[in-house]
């Protein structure tokens, strides 16, 4: 079986300036169609203060240039000649686009310098700080690496569980069973994983498939229509990868759960559970238990650790199994007798 960690992620190396118009900062075009086909190759933003002042060493011109109040007022403070010179200087560089914040504008003759250089200029009503963070988020999302994974992605009690395994092992059937029990489907068969700020993974479906699903022997069904809106969701953070495998006598499966396994997907560590399948085993219930156990661990209770500590305590006291015979049944034995 092809493992998730050796799949190659898709990385967007450049996006056209035009894409910025889809960002939430509500950009207004000041240069019509000029420069919309330029490419942005860097997800960071830049405020070109020193460059405007004439120092262009280390000028990160390939970034989106943000003109805040400082830049606009500085330009206004210059003489007309100096102002034009300053802009001509930065326009020698291949800047993808310029964004004016706080609804600031530039004189038409300054805009024309940008147009001549083929640089798009936009305006936004947001202040610099707000526009900066919104645009950073937007560009971070556009440039984040993505991976297409073959599996079923279900939200179980709020825990994002991705089921992977060979074709025909029953990933979709497990997902269907979980949906029947009130859990929510994120995507089946084609799951897109997006790395967010290099710290977590978000899973979604594709716009074509959404919540359609194929069940072998049945065909294609639509989960949203069959089970209603509460049985689906559009995106979910990936927290556990459940690897389904055919039972193998020679493979050693974890018995205590003390050694937590994880898988590295696009540089992000995600918990991994290897689950052997054989007939008569209720995977759905086990999947729910995996999710709940993960929740307990996240909230600070690790059952395998607690049990192990209890055992160590017994060993330390050297009381052995004869203690069980001493524990009288009349006393509820969940009460801690020690």
Partner 1 sequence: MIIIEKEVTVRNRAGLHTRPAASLVKLSSRFDSEIFLIRDGFMINGKSIIGVMTLAAENGCVLTIRAEGDDAEAAVNEIADLFEQGFGEI
Residues that bind partner 1 (CB under 8 A): 1-2, 7-8, 10, 148, 150, 167-168, 188-190, 206, 208-209, 212-214, 220
User: Is residue 171 annotated as a catalytic residue, yes or no?
Assistant: yes
- Helices 80-91 and 69-77, interaxial angle, to 10°? 130
Q: Are 91 and 51 in contact (CB under 8 A)?
A: no
Identify which of residues 10 and 296 has a Cβ nearer to partner 1 in the complex: 10
User: Is residue 255 annotated as a catalytic residue, yes or no?
Assistant: yes
Identify which of residues 71 and 188 has a Cβ nearer to partner 1 in the complex: 188
Identify which of residues 74 and 212 has a Cβ nearer to partner 1 in the complex: 212
User: Is residue 150 annotated as a catalytic residue, yes or no?
Assistant: yes
Q: How is 277-292 classified by DSSP, letter by letter?
A: E-TT--HHHHHHHHHH
Compute the least distance from the CB of residue 168 to partner 1, in Å. Answer: 7
DSSP 10: B
In terms of Cα–Cα distance, which of 10, 62, 66, 6 is closest to 39?
Answer: 62
Question: 274-303 burial string, b = 16+ CB within 10 Å, else e?
Answer: ebeeeeeeebbeebbebbebbeebeeeebe
Compute the least distance from the CB of residue 172 to partner 1, in Å. Answer: 9
Catalytic residue of the set 63, 83, 171, 211: 171
Identify which of residues 7 and 200 has a Cβ nearer to partner 1 in the complex: 7
Catalytic residue of the set 63, 155, 183, 189: 189
List the alpha helices (DSSP H) in 45-151. Answer: 49-52, 69-77, 80-91, 108-116, 128-143
328 half-sphere exposure, CB direction, 13 A CA radius: 2
Compute the least distance from the CB of residue 248 to partner 1, in Å. Answer: 17
Catalytic residue of the set 150, 196, 237, 297: 150
User: Is residue 183 annotated as a catalytic residue, yes or no?
Assistant: no
Compute the least distance from the CB of residue 220 to partner 1, in Å. Answer: 8
Catalytic residues: 150, 171, 189, 255
């Amino acid at each position: 079986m092809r493992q998730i960690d050796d799949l190659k992620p898709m990385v967007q190396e450049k996006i056209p300036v035009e894409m910025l118009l889809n960002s939430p900062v509500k950009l207004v075009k000041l240069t019509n169609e000029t420069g919309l086909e330029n490419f942005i190759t860097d997800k960071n933003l830049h405020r070109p203060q020193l460059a405007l002042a004439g120092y262009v060493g280390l000028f990160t011109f390939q970034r989106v240039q943000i003109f805040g109040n400082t830049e606009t007022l500085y330009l206004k403070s210059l003489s007309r000649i100096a102002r034009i010179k300053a802009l001509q200087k930065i326009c020698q560089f291949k800047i993808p686009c310029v964004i004016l914040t706080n609804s600031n504008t530039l004189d038409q003759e300054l805009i024309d310098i940008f147009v001549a250089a083929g640089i798009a200029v936009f305006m936004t009503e947001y202040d610099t700080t707000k526009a900066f963070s919104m645009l950073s988020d937007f560009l971070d999302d556009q440039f984040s690496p993505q991976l297409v994974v073959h599996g079923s992605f279900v939200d179980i009690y709020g825990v994002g569980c991705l089921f992977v395994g060979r074709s025909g092992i029953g990933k979709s059937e497990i997902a269907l069973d979980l949906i029947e029990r009130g859990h929510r489907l994120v995507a089946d068969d084609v799951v897109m994983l997006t790395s967010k700020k290099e710290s977590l993974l978000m899973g979604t479906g594709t716009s074509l498939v959404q919540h359609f699903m194929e069940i072998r022997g049945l065909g294609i069904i639509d989960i949203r229509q069959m089970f209603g809106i509460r049985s689906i969701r559009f995106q979910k953070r990936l927290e556990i990868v459940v690897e389904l495998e055919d039972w193998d006598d020679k493979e050693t499966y974890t018995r205590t759960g003390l050694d937590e396994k994880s898988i590295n997907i696009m540089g992000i560590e995600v918990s991994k559970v290897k689950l052997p399948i054989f007939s008569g085993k209720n995977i759905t219930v086990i999947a729910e238990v995996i999710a709940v156990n993960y929740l307990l661990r996240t909230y600070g209770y690790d059952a395998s650790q607690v049990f192990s500590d209890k055992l160590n305590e017994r060993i330390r006291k050297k009381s052995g199994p004869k203690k069980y015979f001493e524990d009288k049944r009349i006393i509820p034995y969940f009460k801690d007798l020690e």
